[in-house]
């Protein structure tokens, strides 16, 4: 099973792109996966799709209020050990690709092949969404919250510090690629097309018809 992990700080557009991917995948047959999570009990934790590329699982659920797909931020499997055990469970169900996305619960350097190979994972693709300038982060969080943000606030905020930590984590995995054969790491920005993952995984374009139902980010 291939693990696809989409990593990035707040307001950078990860959920929008995964929502677009899920909207595209909904054309295929799927089953909703329920799992007895240690923290929250039995929960719907994602969709398993039957696609021409094999069985693709997308972790998370659709948040009706915001009209967007929420991944690891739902905190049903916030501990890495629990999430790895769930990945093993999905691998045993015949899942070919496991996709997860998140700001929270998604910052570990313990996901090299040496650490995850015993959980049904054969390779990984890690996608890092990164702010290159603090002003980008200010502009995005201003738009997201409606509150005034300045550089002083931004440099000391949890989101910006997380962004800097993600640069270090990306570099860590780039170094890990010297040993982790068949794996890959990508650096992305807030300006990627909303259907980036549809194009990447299926070589097709996709646009959600009801544009008002998806975040402008």
Q: Express each pLDDT in 155-200 by its tens digit.
A: 988 899 999 999 999 999 999 999 999 999 999 999 999 999 999 9
Cα(47)–Cα(27) distance, rounded to whole angstroms? Answer: 12
Q: Rounded to 5 degrees, what are φ and ψ at 85?
A: -65, -35
> What residues have CB less than 8 Å from 14, skipping those under 6 apart?
6, 7, 8, 71, 101, 102, 103, 129
* H/E stretch holding 69: strand 68-70
Higher pLDDT: 14 or 212? It is: 14
What is the model's pTM?
0.93
pLDDT at 74 over 70: yes
**Which region holds residue 94: left if phi is over 0, alpha if psi is between -120 and 50, else beta?**
left
Instruction: Check whether 216 has a pLDDT greater than 80.
Output: no
Domains and CATH numbers, the chain: 2-200 (3.40.50)
Distance between CA atoms of 57 and 91, rounded to whole angstroms?
10
- Name the DSSP class of 67: T
R_g of the chain, CA atoms, integer Å: 17
């Amino acid at each position: 099973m291939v693990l696809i992990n989409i990593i990035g700080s707040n307001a950078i557009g990860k959920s929008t792109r995964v929502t677009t991917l899920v909207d595209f995948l909904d054309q295929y047959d799927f089953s909703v996966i329920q799992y007895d999570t240690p923290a929250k009990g039995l929960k719907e934790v994602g969709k398993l799709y039957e696609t021409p590329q094999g069985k693709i699982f997308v972790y998370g659920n659709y948040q009706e209020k915001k009209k967007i797909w929420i991944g690891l931020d739902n905190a049903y499997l916030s501990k890495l050990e629990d999430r790895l055990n769930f990945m093993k469970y999905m691998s045993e169900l015949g899942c070919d690709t496991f996709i997860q996305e998140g700001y929270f619960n998604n910052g570990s350097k313990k996901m090299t092949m040496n650490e995850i190979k015993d959980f049904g994972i054969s390779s990984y693709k890690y996608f890092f969404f990164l702010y290159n300038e603090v002003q980008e982060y200010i502009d995005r969080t201003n738009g997201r919250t409606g509150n005034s943000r300045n550089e002083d606030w931004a440099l000391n905020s949890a989101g910006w510090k997380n962004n800097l930590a993600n640069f270090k984590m990306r570099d860590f995995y780039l170094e890990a690629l010297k040993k982790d054969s068949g794996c890959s790491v990508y650096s992305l920005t807030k300006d990627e097309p909303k259907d980036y993952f549809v194009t990447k995984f299926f070589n097709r374009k996709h646009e959600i018809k009801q544009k008002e139902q998806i975040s402008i980010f």
